[in-house]
Amino acid sequence: MITARQSRAARALLGWTQETLADKARISLTALKRLESESGLEVYETTRDEVRRALEAAGIVFLSTAQGQGVLLVDDRGSKPTQSTVAR
């Protein structure tokens, strides 16, 4: 389950505003603000799922261990050789 802190951290890594994420997740801005609130407001699980999917599509990986939770931005742009780096 995505937490409020994970959502805010993922947006920060991507440089997204709340408006951008709400748009990409196809949810209302109010729903996203509720999800990202530290007040423990009720949020539909489908809202959390839509946000998680949008962030994962942008390269975010959600981490959860016994020691805590976090996010990682996977940058695979450098993993594929470009034409200029291919040996001839």
pTM confidence score: 0.82
Residue 81's pLDDT band, with cuts at 50, 70 and 90, is: very low
Summarised one tens digit per residue, pLDDT across range 3-23 is 999 999 999 999 999 999 999
Domain with residue 60: its CATH number is 1.10.260.40
> On the CB side of 59, how many CA atoms lie within 13 Å of its CA?
11
Please answer whether residues 57 and 85 qualify as being in contact, where contact means their C-beta atoms are separated by less than 8 angstroms: no
State the residue range of the domain holding 48. Answer: 4-85
What's the total number of domains in the chain? 1
The pLDDT score that the predictor gives to residue 79 is 53
At 23-78, the pLDDT tens digits run: 999 999 999 999 999 998 999 999 999 999 999 999 999 999 999 999 999 987 55
Spatial distance between the Cα atoms of 14 and 11, rounded to a whole number of angstroms:
5
